[in-house]
Amino acid sequence: MESVRPNLDIFYDIVSYLGMYEALQTSLTCREAHRVATPKIIETVAFPLHWLRLTGVHRPEMYEDFRAYMLADGAKRFGYLQTLVLGEHAFCTYWGTIHPDLTNDSEYDFTLAEPLIDVIQGATGLRRLSIAHADAIFDEVSELSDAVASLPQLEEVELHFVEYYDSETHERWWRDYAAGRDSRFLHNFTDSLEVLELLGEADIIETLEPSTVWHAVRELKLTDWGTSVRLYTLARAFPNLRRLHLDARCLDEVVPENHWRQLDYVYAFSPSALQQHVRYLDMYWPIELYLPGSAAVRDATTALLQHVKPVVLKSPGWKPNLPHDGAVHLLSDADARAGLSEVFMLLRDVRLKGLTLDWKQEFPLSWHNTSKWKQYALTIANCIPSLEYIGMRMLTDYHRVPTLDQSSYEKSKPQAYRWYRIIRKLVDTQIGVEEVPGDEDMDDPAT
């Protein structure tokens, strides 16, 4: 029987829609399919790969085999690799359990990363790189940092630091600085990097590149719960930001107004001295009533809103507690309306067009009581003259902690937003609200 040669044009088109696992299955069907599907298979490689981890095997990946596979076929496969992710448990050799204090007894061997030196050096077309435990990995396999530094076209980098380095590690990692040579760790992709995420020491950027200006970076994410971020340093190093994610406390530094002319979205962990106008402000903290110790936060929030003047504001739902008593819940609908009015009057002078609120489950009102939520939306609308849309949703159990067995963990997703359109009548200054049908295009304004 004569074999039928596949139409490669159609086949290429089909493969472009496949995920990695589907492409792998397709590649096993015939020689032509393997040749066409291989680029899709290794376009994105993320460790650990749970589907490769066999029961009873302590090494979740065989990095030597991965290097051998990439070097085969004349090293042509290096050109296909676009994204490399070394996840939280990529080098876990013993899978432990999470204890009540959120610690775990897992064991890691970061020397397993050594075969990846050749992979990273060869993958000159790599666009995105994410490394968890970056400090420990670069400490154990110092040549890996040199391989990263040699990449010419990186556009997105995520380095997650667990702890700061001792002086020996720091000097070895940044050996060119220590020797006084005119070389930088990230110099090859200073002009190409568009997204930078650093988890760990918030001042690490000053250590990495103290005098570099990152003109191409459009999105910056800094995550650290222990130290503070210097806004002025960020403004100098990243002048062209469009999205800024500050999951860290900011020092009270004033950045010149309109320094970030392209800034569009800001996520803030706490009130800061930011004075830039932004379209979308995402606040980690709720707008509170006058509770003991909250006056300073309230004043700082008011100052932030006056300077930033967001068009869209996102905030966790107001906590339903009465002033001066953190344990007393609202007792009536009248209490709720009065509390909402007091809280959202803070936003009267902020020219908001849209407002999204994430309510915690403690709020004493069923999410299914749609008429009451509509009344609350009307109360908020009366507080903010410029408001056109309000989106509200009830958060689910967001305190759940994932286990190391990711296959048995399903992240609890919040409900979809319930949107209300505000109707203002110019004749008699009356205000009304109507619920926006769920089929209308009302995605998160941040996008």
CA dihedral sign, ordered 92, 93, 95, 101: negative
Model pLDDT, residue 363: 59
Model pLDDT, residue 101: 53
Count of CB atoms within 10 A of residue 138's CB? 23
Give the span between the Cα atoms of 371 and 341, in whole angstroms: 18
20 CB-contact burial (10 Å; exposed 0-12 / middle 13-18 / buried 19+): middle
Model pLDDT, residue 188: 66
For 64-80, write each residue's pLDDT tens digit: 888 888 888 777 888 88
Which of 34-43, 232-241, 305-314, 317-326 comes out lowest in average pLDDT? 317-326
Selected residue with higher pLDDT from 213 and 227: 213
| Most confident stretch, 112-121, 129-138, 226-235 | 112-121
Residue 85: pLDDT band with limits 50, 70, 90: very high
Judge whether residue 375 has pLDDT over 80.
yes
The one-letter code for the residue type at 101 is D
Model pLDDT, residue 410: 38
Judge whether residue 3 has pLDDT over 60.
no
Model pLDDT, residue 242: 93
For residues 119, 125, 129, 134, the Cα torsion angle rounded to the nearest 10 degrees is 40
Model pLDDT, residue 116: 92
For 387-436, write each residue's pLDDT tens digit: 899 988 887 644 443 333 333 333 445 678 899 999 987 766 788 899 99
Judge whether residue 172 has pLDDT over 60.
no
- What is the rounded average pLDDT for all residues in the chain? 71
Q: Which residue has the tokens 């992240």?
A: 411
Selected residue with higher pLDDT from 273 and 163: 273
Model pLDDT, residue 183: 47
Give the span between the Cα atoms of 137 and 134, in whole angstroms: 5
For 276-304, write each residue's pLDDT tens digit: 888 898 988 876 654 555 677 778 888 88
Task: Give percent of the chain with pLDDT exceeding 70.
Answer: 60
Q: Phi-psi region for residue 98, left (φ > 0), alpha (ψ -120 to 50) or beta?
A: beta
Model pLDDT, residue 371: 85
Task: Give percent of the chain with pLDDT exceeding 90.
Answer: 7
| Most confident stretch, 46-50, 142-146, 392-396 | 142-146
Model pLDDT, residue 325: 31
Judge whether residue 243 has pLDDT over 90.
yes
Interval 44-68 mean pLDDT = 68
Model pLDDT, residue 164: 43
Assigned token pair, 140: 């154990």
| Most confident stretch, 249-258, 315-324, 334-343, 370-379 | 370-379
Give the span between the Cα atoms of 285 and 111, in whole angstroms: 40
